[in-house]
Chain A
Amino acid sequence: MTEFAFDLNNIWFILLGVLLIGYAILDGFDLGVGALHLFAKTDEDRRIMINSIGPVWDGNEVWLITGGGAMFAAFPHVYATVFSGFYLAMMLLLVGLIFRAVSLEFRSKRPMKWWRDTWDIAFSVSSILIPLLMGVALGNIIIGIPVDQTKEYVGGFFNLLNPYALLFGITTVALFVMHGALYISMKTEGNLHEKTKIWARNSSIVFVILYIMTTISTLYIPHMIAPFKQTPILAIFILLSMLTIANISRTIRLSNYKDAFLSSSLSIAILMILVGIGLHPNLVISTLDPAFNLTIYNAASSQKTLGIMLTIALIGMPLVIVYFSVIYRVFRGKVKLDSTSY
């Protein structure tokens, strides 16, 4: 990690991180609830699962859309290199996103069992596929990809399926499943709640194991460790991530799902911060030659654009916080099905 100055490029590195963290915390639980969907067995329980995220999932997904747009505007070379380089993975991701959206919307609109069962499967599979692909993509960014001097990706598709990236992908799925299980535990009561408690406990165990494996694997990636060696105070984030994750397990044991969900959200943020520290000032690391890395400087838009975008963000994001506070307040509490429900 080089000198960190509060210039526009660094500000946008952070803002992009904020958008992606926001996405992971919010749509993370939507996807987790989706991944758990088939573990609910009755139609009523499945409707409760869907309605727990029904009013909020679309707004949550917008963090991804805005993140993508921000990447395009602030770091167009990264947007271009990664989206075109990971082409087939991006296409599969789009298929996942399409089916997640329409299964949610279509599922309860007809009463036939075959109709609902089919959409339930589509909903669940897509909710697992999305974080898997995103995790594999991020894993590849962390480990580095072959990028040449014209900023183009020159690997193939199968490059992307390396062990580290696959582990990172599976860990992301586990993280979101745990996060979703904690969310649904907050939103349910009765028999379904008894089930979600078990999901929460089991998924947290799986996640912790995968988190440890991923962390140890990451220790073998020199460019990820270098910033912590250079600036040891940053290791505080590693400590914080361990503490917040340990707190998830603790609060689950105490059946305090609200605090567990908050810890889970915080741990998602801290894990992303750790990734950011490791990558900075790079956004894409080239395994061919570090001179070919895409950095926050050589892959960015002009200063004027970064400035305009910052103004847009400073006006828009506080408004977004207001909208989300209002909406989550309206839909607080346990899910109860009524005539407006999915």
Chain B
Amino acid sequence: MEVELLARLQFAITVMFHYIYPPMSIGLGLLLVIMEGLYLKTNNKLYENMTKFFVKIFALTFAIGVATGIVMEFEFGTNWATYSRYVGDVFGSPLAAEGVFAFFLESGFLGILIFGWKKVSPKFHFFSTIMVSFGSMLSAVWIIVANTWMQTPAGYHIVGEGLNARAEITDFWAMVFNPFFVDTFTHVISAAWLTGASVVIAVAGYYILKGIHLDFAKSSLKIALILACTASLLQLFTGHHSAIGVAKYQPTKLAAYEAHYDSTKPADLYIFGWVNEGEKTVIGVAIPKMLSVLVGGDPNTTVKGINDFKSEELPPINFVFQTYHLMVAIGMALIGLSFLTLLLLWNKKLFDTKNPLIKLYLLILILFPLLPQAGNQLGWISSEVGRQPWIVYGLLKTNEAISKSVGAGEVLFSMILFTLIYILLFALFMYLLIEKVKQGPEEPEIISSEELTEKTI
């Protein structure tokens, strides 16, 4: 395997694994603010237990998020050194800002959030929780600034020629608020809220199924479902706006998303389908004229087809088409499931565990987090593969961006190393998560050293 493919594969593996965690942290962080806020307001011990329980899960996701996140920061330099030289001016700044403004804030106050319950006043503890949540969302701001600049570069000019060419900032705010930033950020944040909510939903579903901690389950489920319903609708709205942006600024990506080979008006919207890249045909079920309506508000909008572009400037069509459509399908399913669950909670049918359909539904709720997780990954895959062959859309090709001093053997070694370590980490994460959920909200988490001798295996 040659080094470019290995570098891309390694980046995909490391970033996809990393991305399991920050959305959970961001979503749970917001929920913790709500839960602790409710505790302070009502003084109801139920909310205190809820906060303390989900803080433990939050800490677990946060730790793995940090550990796998450092890999990402280093990986631009280790495997994409040429890219780093080219865009350091522009791309490096939001990354540094992420560290200065967001990471210090969230990691700093995290100490008080987890360990400071007995050391500070309840109000100051709540302030710390808010700072951690705010820090996590601020971190998303800067990383999305960096990524969206790769998609729709703005506020820069190119200096130098050939191998020495570099992008330099001309306008910081134009770079930050590049055309994709707002839509992408809102879409990513609402996805994160949904991902965090799904964890709480799954835990509640498990407890209801088992008939334990029912007050806890009911209360936490209500909070999580309100967030999930809101976030899933925001997803639809922000997703739609993002796609309009893609149609305007990354027509090759939209062409792959929607797989129209010839430019058409009015263009139909495929709900699902299969692209035969060899014969340049698509078989699928489509809503007539819908794509034109979505892109331009008008059935007479022309949507550019794949054939309008040079083949070497197109991403893989079927792969991008499928991942994109799967993401949308998941997004729709999440709206349906969130509202249906809220209804079943409201009319109390959800607690009727004697009903086999309800039991099945609760099992589905336990698996609920798989949906936003899959949606997140598929969305990023379709977006990042969809911008190929560009690493900076329209400016730098991916195959021009890898590190010159790193050989294929080294990358293969590190890729296998990360894969093995991450498999281990994931197994440990699931194990500790399940143990914590089984333990429940009231037990003290750490068994003291005295009890240790009895419980030692």
Contact = CB atoms under 8 A, between A and B. Distances in A.
Interface of A: 42-44, 47, 51, 54-56, 58-59, 61-62, 64-66, 68-70, 72-77, 79-85, 87-88, 90-91, 93-95, 97-98, 101-102, 104-106, 108-114, 150-154, 301-302, 304-305, 308-309, 312-313, 316-317, 319-320, 323-324, 327, 330-331, 337-342
B349 interface: no
A286 to B, nearest CB: 13
Given A66-B100, A98-B71, A309-B93, A323 B78 contact: no
A244 to B, nearest CB: 27
Interface string B132-176: 000000000000000000000000000100010000111010000
Given A55-B111, A91-B78, A304-B169, A62 B103 contact: yes
Contacts of B413: 88, 91
Given A70-B99, A91-B417, A308 B73 contact: no
A341 B446 contact: yes
A72 B76 contact: yes
B449 interface: yes
A330 B405 contact: no
Contacts of B169: 302, 304-305, 308
A66 B120 CA distance: 28
Q: Which 5 A-B pairs have the closest CB atoms?
A: A76-B88, A83-B77, A73-B92, A55-B111, A66-B99
B93 A153 contact: no
A72 B95 contact: yes
Contacts of A77: 85, 88
B16 to A, nearest CB: 16
Nearest to A328: B111
A59 B110 contact: yes
Interface in B165-211: 168-170, 172
A44 B403 CA distance: 47
A79 B88 contact: yes
Interface in B63-78: 63-64, 66-71, 73-74, 76-78
Contacts of A112: 455-457
Nearest to A82: B77
B88 A114 contact: no
A105 to B, nearest CB: 4
A72 B111 contact: no
B64 A79 contact: no
Contacts of B110: 58-59
Interface string B409-452: 01001100100010001001000100110000000111111011
A54 to B, nearest CB: 6
B168 A302 contact: yes
Given A83-B78, A339-B444, 11 more contacts: A58-B63, A65-B69, A76-B88, A76-B89, A79-B76, A301-B168, A308-B169, A312-B96, A330-B120, A331-B115, A341-B446
A270 to B, nearest CB: 25
A123 to B, nearest CB: 13
B433 to A, nearest CB: 10
10 contacts: A55-B111, A55-B114, A58-B63, A73-B95, A80-B88, A90-B77, A109-B432, A309-B93, A316-B97, A319-B105
B357 to A, nearest CB: 36
Nearest to A304: B169
Contact of A110 (B90, B117, B435): B435
Contact of B112 (A62, A113, A150, A327): A327
A151 B82 CA distance: 10
B407 to A, nearest CB: 9
B85 A62 contact: no
Contact of A341 (B68, B91, B115, B172): B115
B109 interface: yes
B297 interface: no
B8 to A, nearest CB: 16
Contact of A72 (B77, B447, B449, B456): B77
Interface string B388-414: 000000000000000111100010011
A113 B425 CA distance: 20
Contact of B67 (A43, A82, A97, A324): A97
B220 interface: no
Contacts of A98: 67-68, 70-71, 421, 425
A280 B97 CA distance: 25
A316 B95 CA distance: 13
B104 A105 contact: no
A47 B89 contact: no
Contacts of B79: 84
Nearest to B77: A83
Contacts of A93: 74
B119 interface: yes
Contacts of B73: 65, 68-69, 72
A113 B115 contact: no
Given A80-B81, A111-B455, A331 B119 contact: yes
B116 interface: yes
Contacts of A330: 111-112, 116, 119-120
Contacts of B117: 340
A66 B104 CA distance: 9
A70 to B, nearest CB: 5
A73 B82 contact: no
Contact of A312 (B97, B444, B457): B97
A281 to B, nearest CB: 19
B372 to A, nearest CB: 24
B445 to A, nearest CB: 7
A82 B98 CA distance: 22
B346 interface: no
B107 A76 contact: no
Contacts of A55: 111-112, 114-116
Contact of B114 (A70, A109, A312, A340): A340
A182 B310 CA distance: 65
Contact of A76 (B60, B92, B444): B92
Interface in B18-76: 59-60, 63-64, 66-71, 73-74, 76
Contacts of A153: 405
Contacts of B405: 81, 84-85, 87, 152-154
Residue in A56, A66, A153, A313 whose Cβ sees the most chain B Cβ within 10 Å: A66
A240 B449 CA distance: 45
Nearest to A339: B444
A188 B35 CA distance: 35
Nearest to B79: A84
B84 interface: yes
B122 interface: no
Contacts of B87: 76
B100 A317 contact: yes
A208 B111 CA distance: 34
Contact of B451 (A111, A150, A151, A340): A111
